[in-house]
Each structure stands twice: as C-alpha cells, then as structure tokens.
Structure 1
Amino acid sequence: MAARGRAVTRLSRGTLPEVRHDRVQLPPPPALAQQVGILHLGIGAFHRAHQAVFTEDAALASDQEGWGICGVTQRSAAVVDQLRPQDCLYAVLERGVGDPSVRVVGQVSDVLFAAEEGPRLTARFADPAVRLVTLTVTEKGYRRGSDGGLDLTDPVVAADLAGGARSTVGQLVRGLQARRAASAGPVSVLSCDNLTGNGEVLRRLVMDFCRALPSAEGDAIGSWVEQHVAFPSSMVDRIVPATTDADRADAATLLGVVDQALVVAEPFRQWVVEDAFAAGRPAWERAGADLVDDVEPFEQLKLRMLNGTHSLLAYLGALRGYETIAEAVSDAELASAAQRLMREDVAPTLEQPPGLDVTAYGETVLERFANPALRHRTTQVAMDGSQKLPLRLLTTVRDRLAAGATPEWASLAVAAWMAYVAAGRDRHGRQLPLDDPLADRLRSAVGTGSDPVAVATGLLGVREVFGDDLRDSAVFRDALVRHLKELL
C-alpha cells in the first residue's frame, strides 16, 4: 500500500535504514528482545500499544535481556500475517494534542497462530527461558459461568477437557502440563484484562479446569500449579482505538515506509502490577509502571470511573448518532451525565488509591475521552456489553443500593445499554451492531423492544448479567424503566 504516493516499502529489520530517523523513535538493538521470556496470549492492538511498550522501555532503562515477547493470536491469523513479514516490528502512532508522534517497537520477537501452530505454542510453554505468561483476551475470553467460575458447559471448554486446547484456560493448562513434564521450572501468569481481581479470577479458572480433568491427571497438574505458578493481578489503562486507513497513511508519511501492523494510542498510559512473581519479571518500574502490594483500589477506580463512564458515553452516544466518544463528550447533556455518574454514584463507592485523587482522576478521564484525534468509535466500546456491564457498572449499582441510595446515573448507563439492544438503531435510523456473545438471548429477551417495562424485565432476567439480586430490586427496576421511557 502506498501512502499518499510516498511510501512503497514495508517496515522490517531490513528496511529500518529507510525509516525517517529524525522523526521516529527507533527500537533498541534486537539483542535486548532476541530471547523470548514472555509468552503473551491475545496479541491484539492493546498489548502492542501497552505492555509491549512498557517492556521495551524497561529493557532499555535496565539493559535487561531475556524478556522478548512471543505473541499468540487465537481467533485468526491476521496479526501473524501483519507482523511476520515485518520481522515482528510495528509502530505505535500516538495521537494527542498537536501533531502525532510515532515509534517503532521491537520487543515482540516471535508470533504464532495457536489454531495452526499448536506444537510451537506447547514448546514455548515448556521452554525454561519463558518465565512469564501474560494475557489480553478480553472479558469474554475467560469463559466464566454465572457463578464466576469456569463455564464447564461451554462447548469449547468441554472439548478442551477432552484433550483440546482452544480456549484460553485450556491453552494455559495444557501448556502448564507440558512445562511440568519438561521440568521447566516456575512461571508467573499475569492477566492484563479488565476483571476485578484478575489474578485470583484466573487462578480459580485454571484450578476449575484442573479439577474437571480425570482425577489422576487433574490432581497432578493442580498440585504442580499450586506449588510453581504465581497469578499476580494487574490494572492496565490506555485508550487504543481501532486503526484506520487514515492512521496508516499518516504513519507512512512519518515513517517513510508502510506498516501493516500499526497501532494507534493516546499519549497517556498506566500500569499497576501486584509485585508477586514466581520467576522474575522485567524492571517495569523503570518504565513508569507501579509495582504494588495491592492492585484492588486502582482496579476499582479504573473499572468503575473510567470504564463505566466509557460505556455510558458509548451507549448514549451511539443512540444519539455520534460516531466517536469524543463527539459524545462534546454533547453537554452527555458530558454532564458522565460527570454525575463519576461524582454521585461511583466516587462514594471507592477507596482512594495511594497517591491518587479521585476527583482529579475523573476530570482527567473526561479530558482523555474528549481527544478528537483518537476517533474511538462508540460502537467499538459498545461491544460485549453483557460481559462488561457486571464489572464496569453493576458493582457500582450494587454498592449504592446497599448504601440505601438510588444509583440514578449508573442506572441511566445500564438503561442506555438496554435501549441499544432493544432499539438496534440510532435516532437517525441507522443500524447499531450488537456484537455480543449473548446477542441472540438479548434480542429474545427484549421482545418487540418498544415497551420500557418489558425491555427492563426481559433483560433483568438474563442471570449471567444481573444475577437474582438485581433482577428482584424494585428500586433498580424503577430507575431503569424511568430512563427507558425517555431513551426508547
């Protein structure tokens, strides 16, 4: 692809000399990342713009070798096709106030497609040099049941228990079995997804899988995991919108070569990590990460204040016909709803994390969302609502109800999701995509989608999302119906 008639060469190690060195931050020497020490499941745009950048900066700051990344893609070979011809190099285009900037990242040194390269994935798990497995597979990738444990009725999980390795947890346990068999030593498994207590969540899912195996096999791997595997928690934060053709063209102009694996991000980035590892870790603190004893206060702040507000703006904005989050924030009524959600519903439920001011954090959130250069699509943020709402909004709802308060603004956000599902179109009549693992159930639950009481009652009956307590809460139901009457 040529960008505006200029760039005709594709990014790779061989074409690095053609990159415009005066305008681009180049990667460090390949020796720093040559040996793979991190196996990452789910090498999408977010990992490449966040953890890989932190890891490269840590390697540079500490002159640490041995923490190269092998990225695993699970749903398609697209990322492999993007990265492999480029020697796994890619650029991060930062869009903030003023002109964009670009850096080339070289910390990823290998990439594989799990569905077609199972033996290579197993070999990576069994490699003693690999001391850390990280994950960004989104909330739905964990295949949890309504009780928070592993959904043993999921057909992919069931197939993995019979000997497969397609699900994330199935891949993990099969990989850990190979590691045990090879006597490859301890390893840490670090979730970087938006789940409360993600380390403990992942530990539980892995042990659920082990216990569901035939007794001798399950006991052997379960005991080994208990003794040799650490599951630290983490909180990640960076806005990484989908890359567009316009982004690729702008990056090609800056780089002087074409990057088919480009990712786009805001300048802001944050990573809070529980410092509890079994086999060492990169010096992430040298790159600006916070290594702490307890991630939970940071995690709750981000999930409820940033992610919850993001969802409110996504659903309300999409219903009003706004394409991007920045456009939604520019609507004074929606900006006010976002502010009141954070101030009146979320803030009273939070423990203030050390060194952070909750009010100032909320102001920063809206400033970041208002960045017009990012073009973060409302329908992209709206994806997988059934998986996101319990963590982003329903925890706030439950805490406010327990305190005897009506969660007015959190209810508005949930009602906006319900209206998004029920209406299926924005106010201009344009169709809204329902990209959700429970899409068929949700459509069935809303019936005709025109009666606010029926919509609220139907969706509250989806136990995987609301449980029994919120289904039976008259205060919550009344608030939802009140908002749905306006939204529908």
Structure 2
Amino acid sequence: MNTPILQFGTSRFLQAHADLFVSEALDHGHAIGPITVVQTSGDPGRATRVGALAAQNGFPVIVRGMEGTTPVEREVRVRSVRRALSTATDWQEVRRVFVEEAEVVLSNTGDRGYALADQDGLEGVPRSFPMKLLALLQARYQGGGRALTILPCELISRNGEVLQALIMRLAAEHGPDAGFQTWLSSDVVWANSLVDRIVSEPIEPAGAIAEPYALWAIEQQPCLVVPCTHPAIRVVPDLTPYEKLKLHILNLGHTLLAERWLKDGRHVEETVREILEDGAISAYLSGIYESEVIPGFESHGLGDEAQAYVETTLARFRNPYLKHRLSDIAGNHAEKIQRRFVGFMDWCPGIATPELKRIATG
C-alpha cells in the first residue's frame, strides 16, 4: 500500500474537507493516491477515532443544508484514508511513510498548532508539531531528499510561508547542515492555502456533518503538487482576496458572535443560527459588517466581493440544518480576536473600527 498523501491531524474538519475531496476524486481517477492520517497530539481519548478513520468501509460525512433555495442532504462514504497512525505509538512508521511514500503533506493542527514546547528537541519523538515536522524533513533529506509539497490548512494568514519561516529557523538552531537548509528552500514547496467549510458536528467514532458550501483555495507556485482535482479546489494566482474575505468576514463574524455569547452568559448549547434569531444580535452583526468591515474591503478595491460574501456568510450562518455551537467557536477566543480583529485593523489602518477596537483592547 502506497499513500502519497500524508495528513497531520484527525479533525472532523479535515474529514469533511480534504479527506472527502480526495475520496471523491479517487472514484474518478483524479487524485494522486490515498491518505495516511497521523494523530499528532497523542491524546488517548482519540484512539478510537484514529482507528475508525481507516476502516475498510470508510466513514460517513453528511452534507446538509441549502444550495440556493433547495434543501440538500446526502451521505458520502469517505474511503480515501487507508492507514491511520499516531506519533505517540507509531513514530518509526510515520517516519518511514514520510520518507518513502509522501508527495504531499497536509496539516490542520489547530489554532495553536505551530506553538513550540518547552525544552523540545529532535531526540526520540519531539513534543510539538513543528519539531516533529523538522525531524521528519531531516529524515527525508538524509534518505535522498525527494521533492515534497507541504500544504498547511491551519487558519493562519500565508500559512505556508509562516510554517516555512518557523521550520527554517528551527533548522538553523538545531542543525548546522547548510545543505539541509538549502534543500528546505529549493526542493520543498511551502504552499499557502485557505480552507472554507462549516463542519458543525462530529459523527462517532469518525465522520462529520457539514454544509454544502466548500472551498479549498491554493496559491499557485512552481513545482506545486495538488492532491487531487475537485470542484471545490481552486488553484489561484493570488490567495489574498480569498484569505481576507474568509478571515475577516466569516471567521470574524463567528468570533463576534462568540464574544456576545461569552459576555452575555447565554445558553451553553446555543448555536449560530439560534443566536441570530435574536433580532438585536442579528442587527449588531450586520451593522458591524456594514459600518466597519465592508469599508475596509472597499479601501482595497474589494467592496463588491465583500458585500457578496457577507450575504453568502449570513445565509450560511442561518443554515437550519446545522448545529454549529458557539461553545465550539469560542475555543482559543483570545488568539482568534488577535488574528481576526487586530489583523483586520492592521490591514485597514485608515478605517474607523470602534467596536472591533473596543473588543480587541478588552
């Protein structure tokens, strides 16, 4: 069994996004091959999920929502994952697959996935994802140094460039081999990408419920290898418009609603759709979009795109078939405010953003 796609992360998002796209593409011969999934956290509570991801009959993804005015509900069996490993128990096999099989590496390691651990090193199994990746890249270099595309899916602006800069710094600190550092720059493609799909609920032990809307935008560059061809995947010359629209409209809107949910002490099970049934909160969100967010996009010549994306986003938020809980969105809230609010204000320094500034400054 050869798996040219190696995926770090077992999230329900990846199950209903990249894993599903590759599965559908494999059915038509449009993917480079199947996936090995790797759990990086070592959380024993997720062991059942890890095993279920590679089940012979796949795992279910239910696509539920509205396409225009038409209700949609369909179940897809995702069969793209052929092997599931954990860095805690299968490190040597992860290393082998990374060196011998991988052509594309995907990652979705959460909001703090690029954080380093104290006293982390290359001996044994490194603790943090960046150090794990550095160790595996070093092993690939020493094993012949075949070219590789790294395709991060974390919600970080210019995620490929950010991850590359981090790994290059760690390589300089933890190894004097200039040849390795040259290889990291010349033979490893660090792709910037953006993922966009609301995946609201898990299905146990593996699977998820997701909306019909889906986008995976990948910025074109020389030698890029894309895992598959799929209608939801767009290879684009410039990722910036897609990134800004998603981060500073959809993600920013989610964080605004989470802020109100937290401050008001609202019901623990409340969903995005339910909170928007409160007319005052619906008007609050729409008002910030109109008075603070869209003017910022207009200053960059993206006013029409922003207006259209706001309308699409509000329709997605009100999807009657998804249970997108605000308790899930509120995780790592402070970090999200920095990336989504402060990042927007830094991008649009001449635009008045009194409410976003009030929240960001506490």
Aligned twin of 2:33? 67
How far off its partner does 1:184 sit? 4.9
The one of 103, 106, 130 aligned to 1:134? 106
SS across alignment from 2:191: coil
Aligned twin of 1:359? 307
Q: Structure 2, unaligned stretches of length 5 or more?
A: none
Is 1:89 the counterpart of 2:33 in the alignment? Answer: no
Aligned twin of 1:35? 2
Aligned twin of 1:421? none
| CA contact 2:160–2:191 (8 Å) conserved in 1 | yes
How far off its partner does 1:83 sit? 4.8
Aligned twin of 1:329? 276
| CA contact 1:345–1:396 (8 Å) conserved in 2 | no
Aligned twin of 1:316? 260
| CA contact 2:5–2:227 (8 Å) conserved in 1 | no
Question: More deviation in 332-341 or 296-305?
Answer: 332-341
| CA contact 1:80–1:111 (8 Å) conserved in 2 | no
Aligned twin of 2:345? 397
Seq. identity, %: 25
Aligned twin of 1:44? 11
How far off its partner does 1:58 sit? 2.9
SS across alignment from 2:112: helix
| CA contact 2:65–2:322 (8 Å) conserved in 1 | yes
Aligned twin of 1:296? 240
Is 1:125 the counterpart of 2:98 in the alignment? Answer: yes
Q: Amino acid of the residue matched to residue 384 of structure 1?
A: N
Aligned twin of 2:183? 224
Is 1:409 the counterpart of 2:355 in the alignment? Answer: yes
Question: More deviation in 388-397 or 296-305?
Answer: 388-397
TM-score of the pair, normalised by structure 2: 0.89
Give, in whole Å, the separation in 2 of the partners of 1:413 and 1:94: 34
Aligned twin of 1:169? 130
How far off its partner does 1:291 sit? 0.6
CA deviation vs aligned residue, 1:68-99 (integer Å, no higher than 9, x gap):
11111122244442353533711101221446
How far off its partner does 1:325 sit? 1.1
Q: CA RMSD in A?
A: 2.3
Higher helix share: 1
| CA contact 1:88–1:108 (8 Å) conserved in 2 | no
Structure with bigger gyration radius:
1
Aligned twin of 1:160? 121
How far off its partner does 1:357 sit? 2.3
How far off its partner does 1:175 sit? 0.7
Give, in whole Å, the separation in 2 of the partners of 1:353 and 1:113: 43
How far off its partner does 1:398 sit? 3.1
The one of 279, 285, 291 aligned to 1:344? 291
How far off its partner does 1:112 sit? 0.6
SS across alignment from 2:235: strand
The one of 292, 295, 307 aligned to 2:251? 307
Give, in whole Å, the separation in 2 of the partners of 1:381 and 1:310: 7
How far off its partner does 1:101 sit? 2.2
SS across alignment from 2:37: strand
SS across alignment from 1:166: coil
Give, in whole Å, the separation in 2 of the partners of 1:140 and 1:169: 11
| CA contact 1:297–1:352 (8 Å) conserved in 2 | no
SS across alignment from 1:126: helix
Q: Amino acid of the residue matched to residue 54 of structure 1?
A: F
TM-score of the pair, normalised by structure 1: 0.67
How far off its partner does 1:409 sit? 3.0
Q: Amino acid of the residue matched to residue 360 of structure 1?
A: A
Q: Amino acid of the residue matched to residue 324 of structure 2?
A: H
How far off its partner does 1:277 sit? 5.8
Give the count of matched residue pairs: 350
How far off its partner does 1:384 sit? 0.5
Give, in whole Å, the separation in 1 of the partners of 2:61 and 2:358: 35
CA separation of 1:413/1:309 partners in 2, compared to 1, >3 Å: closer, same or farther? farther
Is 1:267 the counterpart of 2:267 in the alignment? Answer: no
Is 1:57 the counterpart of 2:33 in the alignment? Answer: no
RCO higher in structure (CA 8 A, sep ≥6): 2
CA separation of 1:381/1:133 partners in 2, compared to 1, >3 Å: closer, same or farther? same
| CA contact 2:191–2:224 (8 Å) conserved in 1 | no
Give, in whole Å, the separation in 2 of the partners of 1:341 and 1:161: 47
The one of 49, 69, 77 aligned to 1:104? 77
CA deviation vs aligned residue, 1:98-132 (integer Å, no higher than 9, x gap):
463211110111111111111011011111x3100
SS across alignment from 2:226: coil
Is 1:211 the counterpart of 2:172 in the alignment? Answer: yes
Give, in whole Å, the separation in 1 of the partners of 2:310 and 2:359: 17
Q: Structure 1, unaligned stretches of length 5 or more?
A: 1-33, 144-150, 249-258, 416-455, 457-488
How far off its partner does 1:332 sit? 1.4
CA deviation vs aligned residue, 1:4-26 (integer Å, no higher than 9, x gap):
xxxxxxxxxxxxxxxxxxxxxxx
CA separation of 1:79/1:69 partners in 2, compared to 1, >3 Å: closer, same or farther? farther
CA separation of 1:324/1:304 partners in 2, compared to 1, >3 Å: closer, same or farther? same
SS across alignment from 1:330: coil
Aligned twin of 1:423? none
Q: Amino acid of the residue matched to residue 39 of structure 1?
A: L
SS across alignment from 1:52: helix
SS across alignment from 2:194: strand
